[in-house]
């Protein structure tokens, strides 16, 4: 999946999250999340807490424990 279009959002979100006091430490996770937003996809993950602060992200957890 192309990620080139996601880099602008990645940079904006990295700065926004840091200024909001909720920085995302894992750059790769942030890029994955931004890619899902740019491509209008639902991101399926059990790790909701690390992705929930990304703007406009749609998350689903398919694992119920």
Give pLDDT, residue 35: 96
What are the residues facing 42 on neighbouring strands? Answer: 58
pLDDT tens digit sequence for 16-58: 999 999 999 999 999 999 999 999 999 999 999 999 999 999 9
Contact between residue 31 and residue 6 where contact means Cβ atoms under 8 Å apart? yes
Give pLDDT, residue 5: 87
Give pLDDT, residue 28: 96
Domain boundaries, the chain: 6-60
- The larger pLDDT score, comparing residue 1 to residue 41, is at 41
Contacts of 47 (CB under 8 A, 6+ apart): 29
6-60 under CATH 3.30.70.580, yes or no: no
**Phi then psi dihedrals of residue 42, to 5 deg:** -85, 130
Contact between residue 45 and residue 59 where contact means Cβ atoms under 8 Å apart? yes
Helix extents (H) in the chain: 6-19, 27-38, 48-51
């Amino acid at each position: 999946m192309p990620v080139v279009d996601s880099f602008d959002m990645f940079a904006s979100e990295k700065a926004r999250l840091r200024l909001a006091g909720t920085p995302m430490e894992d750059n790769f996770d942030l890029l994955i999340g931004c890619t899902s937003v740019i491509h209008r996809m639902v991101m399926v993950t059990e790790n909701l807490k690390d992705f929930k602060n990304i703007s406009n992200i749609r998350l689903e957890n398919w694992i119920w424990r």
